[in-house]
Structure 1
Amino acid sequence: MAITLKPQPNLVIACPPDPLPHLPPELHLHIIETIAERIPFSPNQDQLYDPIDLATLCACSLVCKLWLNTARARIWSSTRLSGRLRSMALIDLLEAYVCTYDSIASGDGHRENDIPGRARVHEMACSLARLSIPSFAARIMYLSIRETRGNPWDPKWLDNALPYLAAHLKGLHSLEIERVTWEYLSSHSRTTCLESFRRVKELVLRGCSFHTAADLCEFLAEFDKLEVLTLDGVHCMRSDAPRWYLDAWVDGKKCVSPPSNALRAVGMRGAPMDTVLEWIMSGIEYRKGIGMRGVGITSAKLGGVGIAEAEVVGRFLREVGESLSELRVGFDQSFVERGDAFTDQIDLGRNSTLRELHVFGLVVPSPDPTAEREETSLTQLTSLLSPIQSPMEVLSLAMYPADIRAFSMVDFDGMARVFEKREWAGVEEVRVVISNKGECGFGRVVKQRLSKLDERGVLRVNVGFDEREVI
């Protein structure tokens, strides 16, 4: 049966509306980068971000492939793993990308180069991995891994996951390892970790343990491109690696390799400071001996410095010399009682390019009410500042006075004379942080005693808990 359609003379055929205008790629990138700039690559206490920004960035990644490829650079740039369930889910996802592309390449649904003993991908992960986009593994620049607590010899998720993470994450820039006992990991995990992550530029160890301080130095020496090293709460069963061992040679090689020639920033707190600093100094001396020049240590952050560490810290500061531009040092309470022993060892006069100095942990006890004459407090701090000959830009002092009477006895007159020297003529900020809210008047006392700095507009006084950290 044939159907004939008669033409309708008054029929108006509606044309589709004009298509949406094509937006240039530059505008897409600008939209995403505006959101991404609010999220730091490695979030910390100083660089927090609003979770809404991350949620918005994830929503942008669902718009199209262009937006996905741009947004995922910041979404995955900083990855933190702290438990078996989430970590293994990430590994399954990374494996799923490899499974997909290997299956397409071989055409039989199986890998061509399957590693014996390698964990198989979950069936659900494989079924969901039929994607036409590359893996996001190359986008991960900062990796933080934290081992769970429990009995030391219990099986740990990191021991199983570390080889797979090392196999996928080849382009890491920063690596943070927390709560890991190095000798409890299997030899396979230790080997793959050092082989795959040895070219990271920033390394942070928090709450980690090593058998000896020499083992710690040998571990650190494997990272031959390292620029920034931070050791926070690193424990060694034996921290008695002598200097002769660090300088010893066997078969034409040093027993402990020197640190990276690119090392420029060092931060330590609650770690075998004497051994690590000796190791760094041995590397500096070794390179000087063969005529090799490196970047030099430009930033040193040392927390919990006591009498036992004063001598090696003083030698270290003299050794780094003119390359040092920033120093953060936190003294223990012995600085107040035996500060002369510190200033006899620590001389900042050789650090000719020092620009920033931050001093933490200045405990100021209340004077003895039975004493006939009240002695001025923290004269050692004046002795520490006096030798400085570099044009200073920033100075901060974190003080913990017991009461207003103790604080009024601080040697502000001696410090005022120091600030009158030409080296401090271009100082941009002198900050005094007073961690005590018990009594009023602390800020007023500081401004009165350092009135010339206040008149210049460079004095900043903060009263309350000091949220800054040495490292």
Structure 2
Amino acid sequence: MPPRLPQELAEMIIDELGDTYQRPTLAACSLTCRAWLHRSRVHIHSAVRLDPNSHLDRLSELYSGPLADYVRSLSIDASRLKKIHRLALEALVWEQLEEQTVRIFLTNYDDVRDVWLAACDFYNPAAFVRLLQSFGKADSIRMEGMGCDPVDFEEALEENGPVLHLQALDVGELCNAPSIVARWAYHGRKEVVIESIHFSWNHEDPVHLSRLLQLAGPSVKSLSITMDDHVQRVRTTPGELQGAVDLSQNTGLRTLRVLLRLETSNYIEVSWIGDVLSQLSSQLLAHILIFIELPSYELLDKLRWDLIDSALADTRIPALKKVECCILRRYMLHQGLDPNAINRVRNALPKLAALGILEVSQEYT
């Protein structure tokens, strides 16, 4: 029986095979003994390459389990796939892609109309901006769970074109810097046309969202804004946020959805919601939805319902046919929904109730 090869020497040989990517030999090493299996897999599965000849179903099944932990490099050869109309990128770290893959994403998808980005990380927001700039014919750009480090990207914004036309721009939950998308959408533009806009805003100053809405003006038909009370926590003067989100130029609005997400049971100044609603001047606005997500029913008595009531019952909105107000209660064990909450809200909005256009409901989030 031949002498056993020392483990340290075996690993050195396997590493050498990995450096020269001798896949068949590495595969043989992985089958030789259990002690060599892990080291061999590190090299065999460290780089995954996709091209038009790849068996995607087989690869998806192969890397749906523990082998996925070995993948360190993803290379995509899509040079022959130039007629793609919908592109979805999910769970990738942009800076870890190979240069060739990045180049393909930035140059090969001129015909893409629908872009979906989910759970992607960009260490440099300039790279994210340049990716968005590469979809010059896109009609719809949607995203959620995007992460960008807070570093300067002004130089990338200077490469914006003068015109942006979109049917939909959706910046959903867990995007840690929605202002990057807002600034990309308006910076350096002479014309911005976006029919449907949704932004989930967090702790950032909403000034960039306001600038985008002002420039998009009457082109916006449907607007949805989710905003939590972190925006108010960084301000110390009551009413300081008045006019921060300016809707006065959105005269083409037909539907408006506002989700106010209250994160704390402490008193927070949120009267700005009435100030924002009082700017509405669209003659076409027919439907408004207001969602109030709260941790405690005590906050119902601290909201400035009178400002909301006065703003929405104003005759400046002649087409308004329905105002829906929904209380979103976070589920807590042994704490059910308050049966009196709906009447409390209705009583706090007497002008809307008198017009017969108010609907109040509540549900768990």
Tell me the TM-score normalized by structure 1. Answer: 0.56
- Contact kept, 8 Å, 1:404 with 1:441, in 2: the verdict is no
Judging changes above 3 Å, is the alpha-carbon distance between structure 1 residues 265 and 381 closer, same or farther for their aligned structure 2 residues?
same
Question: Does the aligned pair in 2 maintain the 1:403–1:439 contact within 8 Å?
Answer: no
Structure-1 separation of matches of 2:318 and 2:160 = 43
Tell me by how many angstroms 1:336 deviates: 5.2
In structure 1, the partner of 2:157 is 246
In 2 relative to 1, CA 355–380 (structure 1 residues): closer, same or farther, beyond 3 Å? same
- 1:167 matched to which residue of 2? 80
Residue 157 of structure 2 is aligned to residue 258 of structure 1: no
Structure 1 residue aligned with 2:199, among 302, 323, 328?
302
Letter in 2 for 1:382: G
Change (3 A) 1:220 1:419: closer
- Which residue number in structure 2 is paired with residue 312 of structure 1? 208
SS in 2 for 1:300: strand
Partner of 1:358: 257
| 1:7-406 equivalent positions in 2, closer than 5 A | 95=53, 154-155=70-71, 159-160=74-75, 162-163=76-77, 167-168=80-81, 170-242=82-154, 246-247=157-158, 256-258=159-161, 261-269=164-172, 270-284=175-189, 288=190, 296-306=193-203, 308-335=204-231, 337=233, 338=235, 340-363=239-262, 378-391=270-283, 392-406=285-299
Distance, in Å, in 2 between the alignment partners of 1:304 and 1:151 is 37
Q: Quick check: 1:430 aligned with 2:355?
A: no
Matched to 1:202, the amino acid is D
* Matched residue type, 2:326: V
The residue identity in structure 1 corresponding to 2:177 is P
Cα pair distance change 1:263/1:404, threshold 3 Å: closer
Q: 1:205–1:365: structure 2 CA closer, same or farther, 3 Å change rule?
A: closer
Letter in 2 for 1:298: E
- Separation in structure 1 between the aligned mates of residue 291 and residue 349 of structure 2, nearest angstrom: 16
Taking the aligned partners of 1:155 and 1:385, their CA distance within structure 2 comes to 50
1:394: how far off? Answer: 1.6
How far the C-alpha of 1:330 sits from its partner, in A, is: 1.4
How far apart are residue 388 of structure 1 and its match? 1.2
Which residue in the other structure is 2:34 paired with?
none
Residues 1:324 and 1:273: Cα distance change in structure 2 (over 3 Å): same
3-state SS of 1:464 partner: strand
Identity %: 19
- Whole-Å separation in 2 of the counterparts to 1:346 and 1:205: 26
Deviation at 1:202, TM superposition (A): 1.3
CA distance 1:189–1:464, shift in 2 (3 Å): same
Query: Which 5+ residue runs of structure 1 have no aligned equivalent?
Result: 1-83, 96-118, 126-146, 248-255, 369-375, 467-471
- 2:313 is aligned, of 416, 420, 434, to 420
Shift, 1:213, TM fit: 0.8
Other-structure match for 2:304: 411
- Tell me how far apart the structure 1 counterparts of residues 64 and 128 of structure 2 sit (CA, whole Å): 21
Shift of residue 387, structure 1, vs aligned partner: 1.4
Paired letter, 1:234: M
In structure 2, C-alpha distance between the alignment counterparts of 1:271 and 1:258, rounded to whole Å: 25
- After superposing the two structures, state which structure 1 stretch, 181-190 or 202-211, moved more: 181-190
SS at match of 1:340: coil
Alpha-carbon RMSD? 3.6
- Distance in 1 between the 2:360 and 2:274 partners? 18
- Does the CA contact (< 8 Å) of 1:298 and 1:323 recur in 2? yes
Instruction: Say if 1:153 and 1:184, in contact at 8 Å, map to a contact too.
Output: no
1:296-326 deviations in whole A, cap 9, x for unaligned? Answer: 12222111343x3322222222222222222
* C-alpha contact 1:398 1:435 (8 A) present in aligned 2: yes
**Measured at CA, do residues 341 and 310 of structure 1 come closer, stay the same or move farther in structure 2, by a change above 3 Å?**
farther
> Which has more radius of gyration?
1
Note if 1:449 corresponds to 2:348: yes
**What is the CA-CA distance between 1:365 and the residue it aligns to?**
5.9
Aligned equivalent of 1:73: none
Contact 2:160 2:184 in 1 (8 A): no
With over 3 angstroms needed to count, the CA separation of the structure-2 counterparts of 1:261 and 1:367, relative to structure 1, is closer
What is the distance in 1 between the residues matched to 2:202 and 2:265? 22
* Contact 1:240-1:275 at 8 Å conserved across structures: no
Deviation at 1:217, TM superposition (A): 0.9
Question: Does structure 1 conserve the Cα–Cα contact (< 8 Å) formed by 2:178 and 2:201?
Answer: no
How far is 1:225 from its partner? 0.6
Q: Deviations over 1:250-292 (max 9, x none)?
A: xxxxxx34387433422224143333322221242xxx3xxxx
Moved over 4 A (4+): 147-154, 335-339, 364-368
Contact 1:227/1:263 (8 A) holds in 2: yes
The answer on whether the counterparts of 1:148 and 1:179 sit within 8 Å (CA) in structure 2 is no
